[in-house]
Amino acid sequence: MAQQFVLKTLLDFASAHSLRGYPGDCANLHGHNWKIEVEIVGQELNDIGMVIDFKQIKKHAKEIVKELDHKFLNDIEYFKTVNPTAENIAQYLFRQIQQRIEAPNVTMHQITVWENDRNCVIYSEPSTS
């Protein structure tokens, strides 16, 4: 098996949402202080010994998180048709960050979205290599 390096960076944001069609309290407007763990994977180190600079990962992740921070998620264009569940938020963040990563031989590995200290979703997609 080839070597691989998994880099992880942490971010957070606060937002509110309501879950359409949910048969309970979460159908009502409520908020979370979300914690996000972004994981990037690569097999090769560059000439200075890095897979990718953590600053680059954070820059792209912060761009996406900023769009959600202190917002009502149901009003975000994507979530007008997709229910803003933790699962869908994880998938959205993963794909948005993945589109912005511009380093050779580096891909998204997985993302973990914590809605509180006890509940999280881990999302990944199969490797295309």
Higher pLDDT, 52 or 1: 52
pTM of the model: 0.94
Q: Which amino acid is at 31?
A: G
Query: Is 32 flagged in the annotation as binding?
Result: yes
Q: What is the pLDDT of residues 78-122, one digit of tens each?
A: 999 999 999 999 999 999 999 998 777 899 999 999 999 999 999
Catalytic residues: 26, 70, 115
Q: What is the pLDDT of residues 38-72, one digit of tens each?
A: 999 999 999 999 999 999 999 999 999 999 999 99
Distance between CA atoms of 83 and 68, rounded to whole angstroms?
Answer: 14
Task: Determine the pLDDT at residue 1.
Answer: 63
Provide the token pair at 106. 């580096």
Domains and CATH numbers, the chain: 5-123 (3.30.479.10)
Query: Is 17 flagged in the annotation as binding?
Result: yes
| Residue 98, φ and ψ in degrees, nearest 5 | -55, -40
